[in-house]
Chain A
């Protein structure tokens, strides 16, 4: 989903930077507030950032014969709400833009908007809707994490179609073309990422139950009467 350095017209690059900046600033405040108010969250925040760090570094082959990478922004959005991922995701993109020549500084705003804003928000909303519809935690995590991944790539396709509309078929034609490159390749990757998200939450529900209850991901277990010993 990385739009390479210099590959957006200056006006678009500036526009997406302006669009993404408030989310990232708000996200930075959300992270600081979370760490200050709940220092015990730091470990899980680290896990959320690390998850997106490792997943976005791995390029995976897809059935379409091309390769792409997952995003890893879904679990953090589900655990800590999307603003936190606006910062953590942008840090990942900055690392890749500066050290890997992957993505870019001029396209950082557009990439952050797709990867760190739209992806996490979509994943979080899908997770909430799925849970609201009565699904259990893990099916909702699967849906949310997979859709965070897919939505990021759909957004990148939209951004490119806006900047490079097709000469004859216009914006829609260009969108179909870019979706053909990104979205199709991404479907199996999104499924794989959804499964990894489920694995992560299976481990967390066992080992980090108090944190998940405090974050509202799990309902506190009812107090079991233990014959007056409580």
Chain B
């Protein structure tokens, strides 16, 4: 494993720890409701009535599926681009070896 790979792996680990450690320490005491919804609920409790409804409101499970779809689309495109760029670089040394600059 090169030093670069090691540092990258440690960075990934740091991100995972940043979100996993609070979850573990908390031990299920928090509900982790969304901040977006927290504000909406507070405004509604204060008597505010939204004057426009969402055109299309997917129900719970469908909504999580669509969120997963959004993440998958983004992750797929990102992975495709990084894979192509990586492939371009790894394909180059052989060409460069045959034709040194």
B57-101 residues with Cβ-Cβ distance < 8 A to A are 57-58, 63, 66-68, 70-71, 73-78, 80-82, 84-86, 88-89, 100-101
Chain B contact surface mostly: helix
Which of chain A's residues have a CB closer than 8 A to the CB of B101? 226, 229-230
The count of chain A contact residues (Cβ–Cβ below 8 Å) is: 65
For chain B, the bracket of interface size reads 35 or more
Interface string of A1-28 (1 = CB under 8 A from B): 1111111001000000000000000000
Assess A7 versus B50: contact at CB under 8 Å? Given A46-B81, A65-B31.
yes
A138-180 residues with Cβ-Cβ distance < 8 A to B are 160, 164, 178
Contact (Cβ within 8 A) B100 A1: no
CB-nearest residue of chain B to A157: B39
A-B contact count (CB 8 A): 169
Which of chain A's residues have a CB closer than 8 A to the CB of B57? 101
Rounded to whole Å, the gap between the CB of A224 and the closest CB of chain B is: 9
Q: With an 8 A cutoff between CB atoms, is A130 at the interface?
A: no
Contact (Cβ within 8 A) B40 A66: no
List residues of A whose CB falls within 8 A of some B CB: 1-7, 10, 43-44, 46-47, 49-63, 65-68, 95-102, 104-106, 160, 164, 178, 181-182, 185-186, 188, 191-192, 195-196, 198-199, 202-204, 206-208, 226, 229-230
Contacts beyond the supplied A65-B29, A99-B66, A101-B63: 4 A-B pairs with Cβ under 8 Å: A44-B81, A46-B80, A47-B82, A199-B11
List residues of B whose CB falls within 8 A of some A CB: 4, 7-8, 11-12, 14-15, 18-19, 22-23, 26, 29-40, 42-43, 46, 48, 50-58, 63, 66-68, 70-71, 73-78, 80-82, 84-86, 88-89, 100-101
